[in-house]
Amino acid sequence: MVEWIHSDGRVPYPEALAFMEARVAAISAGEADEAIWLLEHPPLYTAGTSARIEDLVEPDRFPVYEAGRGGQYTYHGPGQRVVYVMLDLNKRGRDVRCFVRRLEQWVIATLASFNVKGEIRDGRVGVWVTRPDRAPGPDGAPAEDKIAAIGIKLRRWVSFHGISINVEPDLSHFGGIVPCGIRDHGVTSLVDLGLPVTMDDLDAVLRQKFEEIFDEGSAISCPAAQESSNATF
């Protein structure tokens, strides 16, 4: 059983961390169901375990929080769907890379429902879209923008943190950091791509695709996948 939690308004980051800590402990103790939490945050930056201080370009622009998850600096704010994923890998197969691939597949399948082709890239965290409307890079490669971030933490094989998908955030807010330490590519959103998608639209598809990709109550079976995941822990 997975409980779906939806929060209206903007949830303060410390409140979200406290909730996840308590829920993960309860799941681990067999006292609570797994949970997927859909929310938005006020504008803020989070620092993952691999964050480099030089990538915090404007430290006074928004509050900065130590997240404890994998990855580097990430922005969260209004117009971005944050999905915190509290799942028990003891029941779903203790395979971290497989689990992250499932998260990637979940995001990619969700984007595909809106005719957006999301892709993963070796050495680059998150989900990316090509931008044929923009000039190619110096090496001639097509321009690419990041549309979704992935970062998780495990405690006793129960996951928390999760994914974020840009629906209609203020993309200028990403300018205060080097998102995930990647300087050569930008960020985008569904609305920036010309798609008038609402949060409700996205949430409905997220739930549908989760049920298709995650076989609840049993071990995760992975398809043929890359040699290594593009996420860090």
Question: Quick one: three-class SS letters along 86-131?
Answer: ECEHHHHCCCHHHHHHHHHHHHHHHHHCCCCCCEEECCEEEEEEEC
73 annotated to bind ligand:
yes
79 annotated to bind ligand:
no
69 annotated to bind ligand:
yes
Which residues, 6+ apart, have CB-to-CB distance to 157 below 8 Å? 88, 89, 90, 94
Distance in angstroms (rounded) separating the CA atoms of residues 46 and 69: 9
75 annotated to bind ligand:
yes
76 annotated to bind ligand:
yes
68 annotated to bind ligand:
no
Query: Of all helices (H) and strands (E), which one includes residue 20?
Result: helix 13-28
Distance in angstroms (rounded) separating the CA atoms of residues 71 and 50: 5
163 annotated to bind ligand:
yes
Asked whether the beta carbons of 5 and 37 are under 8 A apart, the reply is yes
Active site annotation includes 180: yes
77 annotated to bind ligand:
no
Query: Of all helices (H) and strands (E), which one includes residue 13?
Result: helix 13-28
- Using CA atoms, how far residue 203 sits from 51, 152, 184, in Å, is 29, 20, 30
Per DSSP bridges, beta strands 80-86 and 124-130 are unpaired
Closest residue by Cα to residue 78 from 18, 9, 147: 9
Among candidate residues 167, 180, 190, 231, the one labeled active-site is: 180
Point out the residues that are catalytic: 180
Which residues define the annotated binding site?
Answer: 69-76, 149-151, 162-164
Known binding residues for substrate are 69-76, 149-151, 162-164
